[in-house]
Amino acid sequence: MREIHVDGQPFAAGQGAGTYGELLAVLDPAMAGQSRIVTALRVNGVEEPAFREDAARARTLAPGDRVEVGTRPVQALAHDALADSVRLMPAVAEAATQLGEQLARSAAPDDATALAELAEGLTLLVTLVQAAESWADAARVPRADWLGQHVAEVGRCIDAVNEAQHNGDWVTVADALTYDLAPALEQWRAHLTHALQTFADGALGLSADGGGNAHAPER
């Protein structure tokens, strides 16, 4: 008989699952009812870090396998995504400032690498905040608008940079990066820092393990 443990506790369902995907189809709704998400999976002592990818989901489960599952509260994932956003913002704002100063001293950048890296940082930032909002909403956590006007202002700055870059107006690109985008990111960071403090104060009802490490399957 297959052994399935969730956060160290026996889990009776899932005996009929023939693949990882079928097991997740049982686990996910069961955990959702507890406002938790499956975040770790180990089969016969072997970690499966990519267990949600298609190749892993198609992998076969044997009747005698030992399956250990780790979960986290949804609101804890929202907290962590928000914290990662706040930690990332100074680096992105500094990158915008440095690139703006570089462009102010030259007619054009040596290559597009710095602009591409800045775009990647901004994309990651927005993705993290979107994830935080989605997880907070899934947990029915009351919150302010974490994107809203702040991401709209950042978007306006990016549009100005893109238009100036298209026109070859690197002076305007430099000004937009230094005097528009960097300050907009700092204002957004202040807004999210306040939201994060609300989490830390426990006003959103984080569980005791909410701010700590994910529940990993027991070894």
Angle at 17 between CA 14 and CA 23, to 5 degrees: 65
Q: What does the alpha-carbon distance between residue 48 and residue 54 come to, in Å, rounded to a whole number?
A: 13
pLDDT of 211 reads: 41
- The yes or no reply on domain 3-73 and CATH 3.10.20 is yes
pLDDT of 143 reads: 80
Lowest-confidence segment of 28-42, 94-108, 179-193 by average pLDDT: 94-108
- The yes or no reply on domain 76-200 and CATH 1.20.120 is yes
Cross-strand partners of 146: none
For 38-62, write each residue's pLDDT tens digit.
Answer: 999 999 999 999 999 999 999 999 9
Q: Which residues in the chain are classed under CATH 3.10.20?
A: 3-73
pLDDT of 193 reads: 93
Q: Which residues in the chain are classed under CATH 1.20.120?
A: 76-200
More confident residue, 213 or 195: 195
For 128-184, write each residue's pLDDT tens digit.
Answer: 999 999 988 887 777 878 888 899 999 999 999 999 988 989 999 999 999 999 999
pLDDT of 66 reads: 96
Kindly tell me if the per-residue pLDDT of 74 is higher than 60: yes
Q: What does the alpha-carbon distance between residue 214 and residue 71 come to, in Å, rounded to a whole number?
A: 7
Element (H, E) at 92: helix 74-105
For 6-42, write each residue's pLDDT tens digit.
Answer: 999 999 999 999 999 999 999 999 999 998 999 999 9
Supply the pTM of this predicted model.
0.75
Residue with tokens 């937009």: 176
DSSP strands (E only) in the chain: 3-6, 9-10, 36-43, 46-47, 66-73
pLDDT of 85 reads: 95
